[in-house]
Amino acid sequence: MSDNSSSNNRLAKNTLFLSIRMVIVLIINLFTTRIVLQALGVVDYGVYNVVCGFVAMFGFLNTSMSNGIQRFFNFEYGKNGEEGANKVYCTSLYIQFALTVVIVLLVEPIGVWCLNHKMVIPPDRLVAAQWIFQFSVLSFVVGIMQAPFSAAVTAHERMGFYAIVSVLDAVLKFAIAFLITVVAEDKLIVYGLLMALISVVNIVVYYIYCKRNFKEIRLKKGLNKYLFKSMLGFSGWNLFGSFSGVMANQGIDLVLNFFFGPIVNAARGVANQVNGAVQAFVLNISMAVRPQVTQSYAIGDINRTMSLTYSVSKITCAIVLVLAIPASLEINFLLQLWLGNNVPEHTAFFTIIILLTSLITNLNWATSGVVHATGIMRNYQVSGSLIRMLSVPIAFVILKYYKIPELALLSVLLCQMVAHAVGLFVVRGLVEMSIRDYCSKVVIPIFMIMILSSGLTWCLHSFMCEGFFRLIVVSIFNLILVSSLFYFFGFNLSEKEMVNSILRKVFSIRNKT
């Protein structure tokens, strides 16, 4: 078996593990949320979310560093094996420890002040909120220190372990949800404590697994200054991108709130949840592929690097179209089924625009993997971040003259498209990439299939009466149509083999059961 064929089979196996994990976690979390809401009540549940949300706001600091650790783990493991990976592990521990100190020094005083003076919390729940804040900080710190171990697992492509731990995490949270329904003590404090303990369990499991399975997980004295500077430089530009993303997202929310009030914000929040469910499927492919993209680049195999980039672009967009087309056509029925009569105005159109934007986002995410592999982040992050942030002033100007909230989200879509186009020129300056080749092999097939499948699925949709039966029929028809079009006209031989490998493993598991 060739190396590429073996790698494709590994991708198929990892994708299958992550997909199974995603479905199980999604179902468990759906029921967990309902039980927790009933057990805590609306007020305590709101307190928990607003306090944890404040701490999570600083997550862009950890996200940028975690992405950097992941990239260097993949790169060094592909180029220098265990010795290079060990240097990354040691350096990343020092970096994450320093980051932990910085974040605690920032979050503690700012958080305590906001908790006592700015957040709207009932006086009789303030003490409980203070405990929740400390538990959230503990969970956040543990999550930071877990990053090197998570990176090692991903670099070794042990997605089966990652899937098992994710399901274990969801099961524990489900068990906690039932437990707090029967405890006599303050349910909110108990819930916060147990959730923090889960994060401790996760890092212990990761540490034990990595220590037993990966030889590079051993701490050595001394600091590799060159690697330290390289990781900080890489993560610094990642930090800029993460921060600008947070600012752009929050900026659009503020603009919508300024012109239309909180109801429109609620509509965008619901639309984002629908998009989040779709993206959960897509991230499985991306997470499985990115380590191989970086490792291929590290050993100088540019052809495989670009081939994987093209493949993940098409496969992730195929998944988006399979889910997004029926969701868009049946959006009113789905929202009514999910939320009853409490659907905020504008939610339907918001959802459709955001799903279309996610299609461009997936293309951008795939090509950004090449930039991450090179480690040369500045031009890509600066250009892309500035263009995306332009969506905020553009939306403000448009809404000042045209009071149509959908136009704000269209400005986000437009800026995302421009950012992707500019990003392609940046990528071309880093590796051997033909933009014409990319457009002919990736962009044009995707959008031709999108137009054709949307039109044919709409025709079927328009001849049927609204209801659960139409939803099922339209979804199955679109699944078969999109899958067939991509398989026979969109995928090359290597991508077809990757899909065949996934299907073989699915039916293999089915036969064993």
Q: Transcribe 164-224 into DSSP letters.
A: HHHHHHHHHHHHHHHHTTT-SS-HHHHHHHHHHHHHHHHHHHHHHHHHHH-TT----SS--
Q: Pick the closest to residue 173 from 49, 40, 46, 36 (CA basis).
A: 36
Show the tokens assigned to 80: 């220098």
324-335 pLDDT, tens digit each: 999 999 999 988
Q: By the 8 A CB rule, do 125 and 47 touch?
A: yes
149-185 pLDDT, tens digit each: 888 888 787 878 888 888 898 899 899 988 988 887 8
Distances (CA, A) of 117 to 57, 121, 134, 188: 18, 10, 17, 21
Q: What is the mean pLDDT of residues 271-300?
A: 76
Q: What is the DSSP string of 96-142?
A: HHHHHHHHHHHHHHHHHHHHHHTS---GGGHHHHHHHHHHHHHHHHH
Percent of the chain predicted with pLDDT > 70? 87
Most trustworthy range by pLDDT among 8-12, 113-117, 191-195, 273-277: 191-195
For 6-15, 301-310, 313-322, which range has the lowest pLDDT when averaged over its residues? 6-15
423-444 pLDDT, tens digit each: 999 999 888 888 999 999 999 9
Q: CB within 8 A of 321, min separation 6: which ones?
A: 359, 449, 450, 453, 478, 482
Note the residue count of the chain. Answer: 513
Q: What is the pLDDT, as a whole number, of residue 111?
A: 83
Q: What is the pLDDT, as a whole number, of residue 352?
A: 92
Confidence grade of residue 502 (pLDDT, cut at 50, 70, 90): low
Show the tokens assigned to 246: 């947070």
pLDDT higher than threshold 70 for residue 210: yes
Structural domain spans, the chain? 1-223
Handedness of CA 249, 253, 254, 255 (dihedral sign): positive
pLDDT higher than threshold 80 for residue 479: yes
Distance from the Cα of residue 373 to its chain's centroid: 19
Q: What is the mean pLDDT of residues 28-34?
A: 73
Q: What is the mean pLDDT of residues 194-219?
A: 90
35-93 pLDDT, tens digit each: 777 788 777 877 777 777 677 767 666 666 777 787 788 787 777 778 888 888 888 88
256 φ, ψ to 5°?
A: -65, -40
Show the tokens assigned to 176: 């906690």
For 261-275, 313-327, 362-376, 459-473, which range has the lowest pLDDT when averaged over its residues? 261-275
Orientation of helix 262-298 relative to helix 302-329, angle to 10°: 160
CA distance 297 to 319: 26
Q: What is the mean pLDDT of residues 400-405?
A: 91
Show the tokens assigned to 343: 């659907």
pLDDT higher than threshold 70 for residue 476: yes
Buried b (16+ CB within 10 A) or exposed e, 127-150: ebbbbbbbbbbbbbbbbbbbbbbb
Burial of residue 4, with CB atoms counted within 10 A of its CB: 0-12 exposed, 13-18 middle, 19 or more buried: middle
Show the tokens assigned to 195: 């959730």
Q: CB within 8 A of 382, min separation 6: which ones?
A: 237, 240
227-241 pLDDT, tens digit each: 888 877 777 777 777
Quote the mean pLDDT of the chain.
Answer: 83
Confidence grade of residue 1 (pLDDT, cut at 50, 70, 90): very low
Show the tokens assigned to 402: 């045209």
